[in-house]
Amino acid sequence: MAKKIIEVEEVVVKFAGDSGDGMQLTGTQFSNTSALIGDVVSTFPDYPAEIRAPQGTVGGVSGFQLHFGKIVDNPGDYSDVLVAMNPAALKANIRWVKDGGTIIIDTDSFTDKNFEKAGCVQEKLKEIYENYNVIEAPMTSLTKEALADTGLDNKSMARSKNMFALGMVYCLFDRPLTHTEAFFDSKFKSSPDVAEANKKALRHGFNYADTIHAMPSYRVQSADSIEKGTYRNMNGNTATAWGLLAAAEKANLPFFLGSYPITPASEILMEISKRKDLGAKSFQAEDEIGGIVTAIGAGFAGSLAATSTSGPGLALKAEAIGLAVITELPLVIVNVQRGGPSTGLPTKTEQADLFQALYGRNGESPVPVIAASTPSNCFDYAYMASKIALEHMTPVLLLTDGFLANGTEPWKIPSMKDMPAIKTKLKKAGSGEYQPYARDPKTLVREWAIPGTEGYEHRIGGLEKMDVTGTVSYVPENHEVMTYHRQNKVEKLAEVFPELEIEGDKTADLLVISWGSTYGHMTTAVRELNKEGIKVAHAHFYYINPLPKNTEEVFSKFKKHLVCEINLGQFAAYLNTKYPKFNYKKYNKIQGLPFTVVELKQKFKEIIENK
Amino acid sequence: MAKKIIEVEEVVVKFAGDSGDGMQLTGTQFSNTSALIGDVVSTFPDYPAEIRAPQGTVGGVSGFQLHFGKIVDNPGDYSDVLVAMNPAALKANIRWVKDGGTIIIDTDSFTDKNFEKAGCVQEKLKEIYENYNVIEAPMTSLTKEALADTGLDNKSMARSKNMFALGMVYCLFDRPLTHTEAFFDSKFKSSPDVAEANKKALRHGFNYADTIHAMPSYRVQSADSIEKGTYRNMNGNTATAWGLLAAAEKANLPFFLGSYPITPASEILMEISKRKDLGAKSFQAEDEIGGIVTAIGAGFAGSLAATSTSGPGLALKAEAIGLAVITELPLVIVNVQRGGPSTGLPTKTEQADLFQALYGRNGESPVPVIAASTPSNCFDYAYMASKIALEHMTPVLLLTDGFLANGTEPWKIPSMKDMPAIKTKLKKAGSGEYQPYARDPKTLVREWAIPGTEGYEHRIGGLEKMDVTGTVSYVPENHEVMTYHRQNKVEKLAEVFPELEIEGDKTADLLVISWGSTYGHMTTAVRELNKEGIKVAHAHFYYINPLPKNTEEVFSKFKKHLVCEINLGQFAAYLNTKYPKFNYKKYNKIQGLPFTVVELKQKFKEIIENK
Amino acid sequence: MSNPTYTFKDFKSDQEVRWCPGCGDTAILMAVQKAMAELDHKKEDYAVVSGIGCSSRFPYYMNTYGFHGIHGRAGVLASGVKTANPKLSVWQITGDGDALAIGGNHFIHEIRRNVNVNILLFNNQIYGLTKGQYSPTSLFGQITKTSPYGTVEQPFHPGELVIGSQGKFFARSIDSKVKETTDILIEAEKHIGASVVEILQNCVIYNDGAYDIITSKETRDDNQIWLEHGKPMVFGKDNEKGLVLNGFKLKVVKIGENGIKESDILVHDATESDPSLHLALINMRVKDGFPVAFGVIRKVKSASYEMLVEQQIEEVKAKSKIKTMDDLLHSGSTWLVE
Amino acid sequence: MSNPTYTFKDFKSDQEVRWCPGCGDTAILMAVQKAMAELDHKKEDYAVVSGIGCSSRFPYYMNTYGFHGIHGRAGVLASGVKTANPKLSVWQITGDGDALAIGGNHFIHEIRRNVNVNILLFNNQIYGLTKGQYSPTSLFGQITKTSPYGTVEQPFHPGELVIGSQGKFFARSIDSKVKETTDILIEAEKHIGASVVEILQNCVIYNDGAYDIITSKETRDDNQIWLEHGKPMVFGKDNEKGLVLNGFKLKVVKIGENGIKESDILVHDATESDPSLHLALINMRVKDGFPVAFGVIRKVKSASYEMLVEQQIEEVKAKSKIKTMDDLLHSGSTWLVE
Ligand SMILES: Cc1ncc(C[n+]2csc(CCOP(=O)(O)OP(=O)(O)O)c2C)c(N)n1
Ligand SMILES: Cc1ncc(C[n+]2csc(CCOP(=O)(O)OP(=O)(O)O)c2C)c(N)n1
Ligand code: SF4
Ligand code: SF4
Ligand SMILES: [Mg+2]
Ligand SMILES: [Mg+2]
């Protein structure tokens, strides 16, 4: 796959609407606020060509584009976020929105009449929904509703909808409202009700975006020379859903998802529920426990079964994961991490469920853990998770996070025939003796006889089972035998997992270490430093339990080891349990946000210099 | 507290009943079976003095005592397990049962009439229930029921109840039935129905003990010279319940337990539900989640609140523990570990929930973890857990296990006035301004204003909160601040935790390391080796998160470190995350059983010799 | 000590209400604040607890003690608070997802135990906060984010589930009817035991108009019946329609037609302990030609859990010799080592 | 392909039955084995799943595919198996603790969804496996290991909860009545949708005699009524008693007394979709002077969840252009890089 970079250090936002919609004011407010909190900002207002173009037409669209971030030196070409107050604004600006970007629309003005005025058709919208992260808001009516008790007339109320829009964008980027509020207070000193109305609309917009768990789409772009092929945009949650479906098709098994909605994982369930066309079954359970246990039931019955959730939901599934471990059934558990603890910051990203994924169960219950690193490779790792689950008869935990789930990037469409084969452990009727816990001596994997298969009736369950025969057993030594079987079965996966690779300058003293969604920022930081002549190497982990078998060997080649994570150092602690001989330094950030390349580079340099 | 040793390497069992009850046969079968699986056995049959003493009288009691284990050279003085087929048998033998030992009685024969014959009164039984682990079984009727379809007459059926009793004892000690089955097959070759009946009764007894989750009481005895004072017998679960109650009384708070029954933790709930006399409230919830969340509610409302469970239940509580972490409410979570994963070996002991206790939650959610080491010090650590929870406004996890829960030992009764003071963080009405998340700068602890207190109305919850004020906040930097506050608050406990102590020979090269219920075996093994002139030192951990602040210093004094656990090495892995510079060797056992002193000594010697 | 008098404003917290403009939750907030102002508790004695959902943000907007819990656990949070301190007036705010999906078990057990909590179920027939997936009260066939081809599940009827769980108090209201809701809430608070108030709540974003057939100007007179204990069950623009028994079923009749007199109309008895008729009233639906029942449908006296707990404690305390921890420590068999 | 004929012995597994001698579970095991032998499925098409409890050890004793799950999750385990493979005959074994305490939520949702599973609820009004704590069906005031002074909670009535959850099939039987239980189980299996069969089960160890008042020789004729669809609701030694309507309530009458004729007696209609009368039948209790109802009390036709899922899949498949994963990958907007 082509290398990717992530450029969330700088963001381009465009506000677009009718000339009367107050887009210039809106844009100015946003840039001032950004500047005040320390961003570099570059702006580009574009007024309609005609002075008095008819309302609602493309000619009448007024726009304000701004580019903000740590290092910014132009107003940007393509925007990450477009606010379109009407169809004309959308039509005029859509081709300048980055693939997979976020588009916020005022649904109230997306009427047939306005489409007509803009000279385009409603149908067009559908396509846009597919390729962008569209956030809908009936801004006009919500603003009116919000201001209903201000005593303002209808028109004046509607005029504040630009502030509603601004509030939403403030929410997406965690901007404080204070600057704009102060602006209105001073501007409308003499008519405090107008000031109040605008501030109210602003706050309501902010709250609205918060309430509906609106999230910005993280944009990811291919950087290196692009391979030939057919491409599409892909976000992490859809990629995950599709990866699972692809594995089921390849393995020639029905697919079953048992799940319960939770931000930011709900889209996986939403996507699978669309896929009735491929025969996929989605079971929206009453809770997360129901989600995983129906999946375990479906796995027992012969489906490729999965469950999808985020941190609080994973906590609820802990007991049932243990059941899948001891019954040695295939199951994929997708955890889309978000900011914690508890409900925490549900719409933000974090990598703090690693400990939970590795250790969050009673007893000795080992589970393979793998992690995707870009939105589109969620497809590959969801596929791999399924392959491991089916070939090794084990639950597998796939970690993604809010950053990947909502991130979008162009993706070269794979062909199903090129996907690696999946050889299930299905026991065919009439294929000789069956012992539920007899194992392949090399991989320690048991066979899968599913209900409906004549002659292989047997019982499984959560009580410890006798080696080979699978009857209930309390024999002390047998428990030890089975505990090691389960442990070794997972550890042996290191034999089939790909080896750890090093990117960047292999002669460096410093190896920076990462896993999961930090890949893009890490690799960019390393590449940029290398270009600047600073030596640094990078090891990124996709396979976490077990670790790639050459890990120790790779680590040994470097003098310094820096583990970078969006948590307080969970992977670093885990590495200590496996390879304690290295002295891991840590770089952590826990703000619900990804790293920035700038801060990474600075940290790397610091470490390199402090020899 | 006096040093304790645990002598589960050898067990004394006595079968006692009427002369006609077949106790000699029963005892012989047990000793033969034990010998066959490799135990050393010493037996002592004692027949009634009179040849034909009246049925049911003390004079007519026939007994068979046997002592088995790894090192045994007499039939034992006091028995660990007494099987009493009638009141006379109980009366005759009760004073030879070790304090807190297990007594299995055939309730069918404990009739008024039989009590009269034995010359004692029903009431006596009550006392026995208090001081021993009594396992009831209507053996006569269950045996008859089991043999109902054998065609045997009533009397012949009843005669097999000794085999039912034997089956129960086999179950308690995981003995195979095969030897006794073979014995009957050959003895009653000519009347296979009789053989069948006896085997059936045997199996039913075994299954019965299994079904009702019957567990042997582990016996623990004081070894060193006994301190003056008033003593009583104490088992781990009662001690835990009483420790919690004592803390509530000392802190002058109401006590609330939210719980759901689960082996081997149910007795804590059972004991608290008896304690209405002390005003304790026990809430038997619909599930474990209800158990902990009612407790969180009670903590919010101003009680010392606790929840008790075992591994699978702890898994279900994971999400709610996170809520207690982020709301910073006092809460004690008791986890009585059992054999896992999943349902695993519910009646057996294990130490494999350490990872879960430390890491089993979403997000960064640190919780202090402490562990008791003997049945009676469950009282002290339950008390300490409560003290930490109340003084530091945090959930605290107390780990015990099946071995402690069911273990009994003599215990010097403390006086409430000598228990350490507990200073709650309760905010009194009219005591100035209140900010929910303002903290004591030294300990980082917040104050506790409870509903009903005038003027301090405020809101808490699972979303990230603004530092100091406690309003909902999504500000990135604030999340980082709060995450570190929570982390540091727990880490600062090392300041108040007692330092790690070393027992045994401080000049040794080898430091053996342990935590939790292995203390007794470890300390005995160390002392015995020291007596033999072999140098070995011992560090036992009661405080696990955070670790005592002198841990590294203590470890540095030794060349070799051996971590011994009843799991696959969880504490060793945890130590690696904290002090990776030591090379921890591991000794693990995972058979649902405690270590034996013999195997520990052997292992220690091995390590010492392989320099 | 007499309680201060309050106005609803005393119950407004300083946090800005963050629901979507037009969301039915806002009106319910007003009704709760008004009810509390009229009731006889001190402000600090109110505890408002919730789970997770749009509706569950409620406690933040109340100037009382508040606890925003975790998803589905409002019922046990409330039960814990009330059992620990029976003096508090405990209000539980929960959504159709929070109470009936993930929290279904706690909901039915809280009702069975009859914990004296006011349970306000905001039923918008959708998961609002997570952006529009179907809930256990979404209609059969409803198209939502997770049922793009329509659901294949029959919804729960909250009232029916309350009856099935031994419920002693059930009332129904509509978000927009602030006055009626206020009155019902006051009655719910005064009732001892678990009082469930289902409030039909419009989610303007993900399920707008779900109740139009009941609430719209044109249909509301025919499609709503407001029950009052001791009053005949009449409805319609001029109260010209009513309910009568027809074997073991209900039937809508017109007064004056077919010889029906006003005295033939059923009189509402909310206190009847047999649940069958209440169930029939709860189950009336527009699609079957019935008006939907509102008001206090069921209100049956029964001891509440936390009171029985207190009572048992008093009884045991009176009898037991164990009064203190020291007593307990020395109870049973002990021995002296000298 | 005709199915082999079986005897109940074909369904015995080689594992020894480990329940206490005399435990009611043993008789139920026999009834299930007999029912399966009579039914028309192949042995390998039975899946028997359970939660945790004495009763939940059941699958080990059946020579079918079996899954002993975790506590409370029998309902979702069964739902997953059945939804994944609707061809299987799925039997769920669960106790009063497993189904109604920790598993209460899955229980009510499984019923609401109407998943075609046979749900056998072994109600012994106690937690057997964990040695005798009270369960959600334990009687008010019952003394158990966790209620040494008597419980203060009203029990659930499983049938009532089934009704509250939109239940379409509910039957009641007694462990000792193997023949009757067998017949009911066969009817439950043939019913499409969630069929709940509550079996009153005696726990000889922790709650012996809980049902004596219903089952003892002296009282059983007066305290049991076995309902049959289409038959009058009569009971008593000589069928001399019966049930009639009394307003919205039931009443016990004696045929021949007060001018009551046999034709006055209610005729049982299990298929009536309105649940009110079924609820009243379910709620009859000895202490109120009623016999306890047994047999198939409610059996109403309704599409089952997994069938509707299959149907929707077929419909969508027929319409959609996406037939394979490759189609999906190339659907929507794509572009070519050459
Ligand atoms: C354990 C857990 N699972 C899932 C979620 C995601 N979640 C939050 S609110 C909600 C549903 C809300 O629906 P409802 O209770 O009806 O409230 P509404 O938003 O409609 O008022 C869900 C699924 C969560 N926060 N926690
Ligand atoms: C998560 C979890 N919580 C608690 C338990 C302990 N437990 C096992 S069975 C049981 C109750 C059994 O009662 P019931 O379902 O009525 O079955 P019975 O034994 O009476 O047949 C409990 C509480 C468990 N195994 N797992
Ligand atoms: S999404 Fe719906 S329920 Fe939530 S605040 Fe908005 S209108 Fe109300
Ligand atoms: S404890 Fe009760 S329910 Fe369990 S097997 Fe024994 S008799 Fe049956
Ligand atoms: Mg809702
Ligand atoms: Mg039971």
* CATH number of B411's domain: 3.40.50.970
Distance C48 CA to ligand 1 centre (A): 18
Q: How far is CA A611 from CA A510, A606, A607, in A?
A: 10, 9, 7
Identify the band that residue B611 occupies on the pLDDT scale cut at 50, 70 and 90.
low
Which protein residue's CA is at the shortest distance from atom 6 of ligand 4?
D20
Q: Kindly state whether residues B103 and B22 are assigned to the same domain.
A: yes
Are residues D88 and A301, on separate chains, in Cβ contact within 8 Å? yes
Distance B395 CA to ligand 1 centre (A): 25
Are residues B463 and A576, on separate chains, in Cβ contact within 8 Å? no
- φ, ψ of residue C296 to 5 degrees: the values are -85, 105
Chain B contact set for D72 (CB, 8 A): 287
Chain C contact set for B228 (CB, 8 A): 337-338
Both tokens of residue B281?
């409230």
In a domain, D302, yes or no: no
In a domain, D325, yes or no: no
Among the ranges given (A129-133, C36-40, C67-71), the one the predictor scored with the smallest mean pLDDT: A129-133
Gap between the Cα atoms of B157 and C267, Å rounded: 65
Interface-testing mutation among A342, A354, A574, with chain B (most B C-beta atoms within 10 A)? A342
In a domain, D321, yes or no: no
Are residues B138 and D205, on separate chains, in Cβ contact within 8 Å? yes
What confidence score (pLDDT) does residue B220 get? 63
Distance B263 CA to ligand 2 centre (A): 9
Q: Is residue C1 over pLDDT 70? A: no
Chain B contact set for D145 (CB, 8 A): 266, 270
| A335-360 per-position pLDDT tens digit | 999 999 999 999 999 999 999 999 99
Identify the band that residue A46 occupies on the pLDDT scale cut at 50, 70 and 90.
confident
In a domain, C338, yes or no: no
Identify the band that residue B138 occupies on the pLDDT scale cut at 50, 70 and 90.
very high
Q: Kindly state whether residues B9 and B44 are assigned to the same domain.
A: yes
In a domain, C272, yes or no: no
Q: Kindly state whether residues B411 and B463 are assigned to the same domain.
A: no
SS3 A473: coil
Identify the band that residue D3 occupies on the pLDDT scale cut at 50, 70 and 90.
low
Our mutation pick for probing the ligand 4 site, out of D17, D23, D127, counting the most ligand atoms within 8 A of Cβ, is D23
| B238-269 per-position pLDDT tens digit | 999 999 999 999 999 999 999 999 999 999 99
What confidence score (pLDDT) does residue D141 get? 97
Atom of ligand 3 nearest to the CA of C22: 7
The ligand whose atoms approach the alpha carbon of C204 most closely is 3
| Strands across the sheet containing A10-18 | A40-46, A61-69, A10-18, A79-84, A97-106, A133-137
| C86-121 per-position pLDDT tens digit | 999 999 999 999 999 999 999 999 999 999 999 999
Chain B contact set for C66 (CB, 8 A): 457-461
The minimum CA-CA distance between C159 and chain A, rounded to whole Å, is 18
What confidence score (pLDDT) does residue A52 get? 57
Gap between the Cα atoms of A386 and B383, Å rounded: 47
pLDDT, greater one: A43 or B461: B461
Q: Is residue C170 over pLDDT 60? A: yes
Chain mean pLDDT for chain C = 96
Distance C126 CA to ligand 3 centre (A): 10
Q: Kindly state whether residues B186 and B237 are assigned to the same domain.
A: no
What confidence score (pLDDT) does residue C194 get? 98
Q: What is the mean pLDDT of residues C50-73?
A: 98
Are residues A458 and D78, on separate chains, in Cβ contact within 8 Å? no
User: Ligand 1: does its nearest atom lie under 6 Å from the Cβ of C19?
Assistant: no
What confidence score (pLDDT) does residue B53 get? 66
The minimum CA-CA distance between A365 and chain D, rounded to whole Å, is 15
Identify the band that residue A3 occupies on the pLDDT scale cut at 50, 70 and 90.
very low
Report cis status (omega within 30 of 0) of the bond before D232: no
Q: Kindly state whether residues B156 and B298 are assigned to the same domain.
A: no
Are residues B477 and A361, on separate chains, in Cβ contact within 8 Å? no
Chain mean pLDDT for chain A = 91
What confidence score (pLDDT) does residue B4 get? 45
- Last residue of one domain, picked from the residues A418, A453, A471: A418
Are residues A266 and C21, on separate chains, in Cβ contact within 8 Å? no
Distance D129 CA to ligand 6 centre (A): 8
Residue A439 contacts B, CB cutoff 8 Å = no
Q: Kindly state whether residues B58 and B100 are assigned to the same domain.
A: yes
Number of domains present in the structure of chain B: 4
What confidence score (pLDDT) does residue A8 get? 59
Q: Is residue B225 over pLDDT 60? A: no
Q: Is residue A117 over pLDDT 90? A: no
What confidence score (pLDDT) does residue D44 get? 98
Those of residues 30-49 in A touching chain D at CB distance below 8 A are none
Interstrand relation of A61-69 and A40-46 (parallel, antiparallel or unpaired): antiparallel
Q: Is residue B121 over pLDDT 80? A: no
Distance C94 CA to ligand 3 centre (A): 13
Are residues B212 and D145, on separate chains, in Cβ contact within 8 Å? no
Instruction: Find, among C151, C144, C89, the residue nearest to C120 by Cα.
Output: C89
In a domain, B227, yes or no: no
Number of domains present in the structure of chain C: 1
Are residues D102 and B288, on separate chains, in Cβ contact within 8 Å? yes
What confidence score (pLDDT) does residue A611 get? 60
Burial of residue C34, with CB atoms counted within 10 A of its CB: 0-12 exposed, 13-18 middle, 19 or more buried = buried
Both tokens of residue B28?
């012989």
Q: Kindly state whether residues B142 and B255 are assigned to the same domain.
A: no
Q: What is the mean pLDDT of residues B203-232?
A: 78
In a domain, C246, yes or no: no
- Last residue of one domain, picked from the residues A496, A518, A549: A496
Q: Is residue B7 over pLDDT 60? A: no
Among the ranges given (A2-6, A51-55, A341-345), the one the predictor scored with the smallest mean pLDDT: A2-6
- Last residue of one domain, picked from the residues B480, B496, B512: B496
Q: Is residue D51 over pLDDT 50? A: yes
What confidence score (pLDDT) does residue A408 get? 79
Q: Kindly state whether residues B387 and B256 are assigned to the same domain.
A: yes
Among the ranges given (A237-241, B80-84, B333-337), the one the predictor scored with the smallest mean pLDDT: B80-84
The ligand whose atoms approach the alpha carbon of C52 most closely is 1
In a domain, A225, yes or no: no
pLDDT, greater one: B153 or A300: A300
Q: Is residue A5 over pLDDT 90? A: no
Residue A178 contacts B, CB cutoff 8 Å = no
Distance C121 CA to ligand 1 centre (A): 13
In a domain, C244, yes or no: no
Q: Is residue C171 over pLDDT 50? A: yes
Domain that includes residue D18, residue range: 8-210
Q: What is the mean pLDDT of residues B283-310?
A: 98
| D8-20 per-position pLDDT tens digit | 999 999 998 989 9
Q: Kindly state whether residues B21 and B153 are assigned to the same domain.
A: yes
In a domain, D59, yes or no: yes
Atom of ligand 1 nearest to the CA of A261: 23
Residue A358 contacts B, CB cutoff 8 Å = yes
Are residues C22 and A266, on separate chains, in Cβ contact within 8 Å? no
In a domain, B386, yes or no: yes
| B75-112 per-position pLDDT tens digit | 777 888 999 999 999 988 988 888 888 999 999 999 88
**If you count them, how many residues does chain C have?**
338
SS3 B210: helix
Distance C120 CA to ligand 5 centre (A): 12
Ligand 2: residues within 6 Å at CB?
A: B 260-262, 288, 312-313, 316, 343; D 52-55, 71, 95-98, 122, 124, 126-130, 135
Cα first-last separation, chain A: 35
Gap between the Cα atoms of B460 and B326, Å rounded: 9
pLDDT, greater one: B125 or A92: A92
pLDDT, greater one: B493 or B190: B493
Nearest chain B residue to A317, by CA: B316
What confidence score (pLDDT) does residue B65 get? 86
**DSSP calls for B243-270:** HHHHHHHHHT--EEEEE---TTTHHHHH
Domain that includes residue A321, residue range: 232-418
What confidence score (pLDDT) does residue D76 get? 98
Q: What is the mean pLDDT of residues A73-89?
A: 86
Gap between the Cα atoms of C312 and C233, Å rounded: 41
Measured between CB atoms, which of B339, B360, B580 is closest to A479?
Answer: B339
Among the ranges given (A180-184, A455-459, D68-72, D307-311), the one the predictor scored with the smallest mean pLDDT: A180-184
The ligand whose atoms approach the alpha carbon of B211 most closely is 4
What confidence score (pLDDT) does residue B155 get? 84
CATH assignment of the domain containing B575 = 3.40.50.920
Helix spans in D283-319 (H) = 305-319
Residue B213 contacts D, CB cutoff 8 Å = yes
Would you say the C-alpha torsion D164, D168, D173, D178 has a positive or negative sign?
Answer: negative
The ligand whose atoms approach the alpha carbon of D20 most closely is 4
CATH assignment of the domain containing B135 = 3.40.920.10
Among the ranges given (A210-219, B512-521, B552-561, D3-12), the one the predictor scored with the smallest mean pLDDT: A210-219
The minimum CA-CA distance between B327 and chain C, rounded to whole Å, is 9
| A393-427 per-position pLDDT tens digit | 999 999 999 999 988 788 999 999 999 999 999 99
What confidence score (pLDDT) does residue B2 get? 36
What confidence score (pLDDT) does residue D336 get? 87
Both tokens of residue D284?
């009859």
Helix spans in chain C (H) = 24-38, 74-84, 96-100, 104-113, 158-164, 178-190, 212-215, 220-223, 276-282, 305-319, 325-330
Residue B331 contacts C, CB cutoff 8 Å = no
Measured between CB atoms, which of A208, A270, A342 is closest to C145?
Answer: A270
Enumerate residues 6+ apart whose C-beta is below 8 A from C186. C35, C38, C39
Q: Kindly state whether residues A509 and A492 are assigned to the same domain.
A: no
What confidence score (pLDDT) does residue D42 get? 97
Chain mean pLDDT for chain B = 91
What confidence score (pLDDT) does residue B48 get? 64
Identify the band that residue B433 occupies on the pLDDT scale cut at 50, 70 and 90.
very high
Cα first-last separation, chain C: 56
Nearest chain B residue to C333, by CA: B232
Q: What is the mean pLDDT of residues D24-40?
A: 97
Enumerate residues 6+ apart whose C-beta is below 8 A from B96. B14, B77, B78, B79, B82
Are residues A174 and B474, on separate chains, in Cβ contact within 8 Å? yes
In a domain, B112, yes or no: yes
Among the ranges given (A197-211, B203-217, B322-336, B468-482), the one the predictor scored with the smallest mean pLDDT: B203-217
Chain mean pLDDT for chain D = 96
Distance A102 CA to ligand 2 centre (A): 50
What confidence score (pLDDT) does residue A406 get? 85
Interstrand relation of D89-95 and A502-504 (parallel, antiparallel or unpaired): unpaired
CATH assignment of the domain containing C81 = 3.40.50.970
The minimum CA-CA distance between D320 and chain B, rounded to whole Å, is 39
Chain C contact set for B245 (CB, 8 A): 325, 328
Q: Kindly state whether residues A287 and A333 are assigned to the same domain.
A: yes
Q: Kindly state whether residues B261 and B164 are assigned to the same domain.
A: no
Count residue pairs from C and D with Cβ separation < 8 A: 118
Q: What is the mean pLDDT of residues B554-575?
A: 98
Q: Is residue A468 over pLDDT 70? A: yes
Those of residues 184-243 in D touching chain A at CB distance below 8 A are none
What confidence score (pLDDT) does residue B152 get? 85
Chains that touch D (3 or more CB pairs under 8 A): A, B, C
| A364-381 per-position pLDDT tens digit | 999 999 999 999 999 999
Identify the band that residue B438 occupies on the pLDDT scale cut at 50, 70 and 90.
very high
Residue D324 contacts A, CB cutoff 8 Å = yes
